[in-house]
C-alpha cells in the first residue's frame, strides 16, 4: 500500500493542470510501502478519481493527515474526513 501524506503547509505546490499527472506518477511508480508527501488537495482528488475509475485498487493507496490514516473506498470516498483535510477550497468557496 502507498501512503500519501497530505501536508498543505510544508510541501511545494504544483500547477493545477498537472494534478492528474502527478497522481498517476505517484500510484504508478512508487512501490508498496512507500510514503510520499504532497501539499495540494488537487492531487488528493485526482488519486480518488483514479480509484473510482479502477486505475488503482482502493486497497493499494491510503491518505494520512495529522497522524490520522484515511482509507479510500472503491468509489473514491474517504473515511474518516478530518477537519483540515483537503478542505481549503471548500472553505474559500463558502465565503463567496
Highest mean pLDDT among 10-14, 19-23, 30-34: 19-23
Task: Show the domain range for 73.
Answer: 2-94
Query: How many residues in the chain?
Result: 96
Q: What is the predicted pLDDT for the residue at 22?
A: 94
The predicted structure's pLDDT at residue 10: 84
Buried/exposed 22-46: b ≥16 CB within 10 Å, e otherwise: bbeebbeeeeeeeebebebbbbbbb
Q: Is the pLDDT of residue 11 over 80?
A: no
Report the predicted TM-score, pTM, of the whole model to 2 decimal places.
0.91
Report the mean per-residue pLDDT for the chain. 93
Residue 13 pLDDT class (50, 70, 90 cuts): confident
The count of structural domains within the chain is 1
pLDDT at 56: 94
Closest CA relative to residue 57, chosen from 82, 27, 85: 27
Name the band, by pLDDT with cuts 50, 70 and 90, for residue 32: confident
Find how far residue 58's CA is from the centre of its chain: 12
Residue 79 gets the label, from left (phi > 0), alpha (psi -120 to 50) or beta, of: beta
Amino acid at each position: 500500500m502507498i501512503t500519501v501524506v497530505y501536508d498543505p503547509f510544508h510541501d511545494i505546490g504544483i500547477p493545477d493542470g498537472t494534478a492528474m499527472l502527478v497522481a498517476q506518477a505517484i500510484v504508478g511508480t512508487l512501490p508498496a510501502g512507500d510514503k510520499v508527501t504532497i501539499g495540494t488537495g488537487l492531487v488528493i482528488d485526482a488519486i480518488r478519481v483514479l480509484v473510482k475509475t479502477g486505475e488503482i485498487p482502493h486497497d493499494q493507496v491510503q491518505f494520512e493527515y495529522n497522524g490520522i490514516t484515511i482509507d479510500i473506498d472503491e468509489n473514491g470516498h474517504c473515511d474518516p474526513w478530518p477537519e483540515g483535510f483537503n478542505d481549503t477550497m471548500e472553505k474559500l468557496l463558502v465565503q463567496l
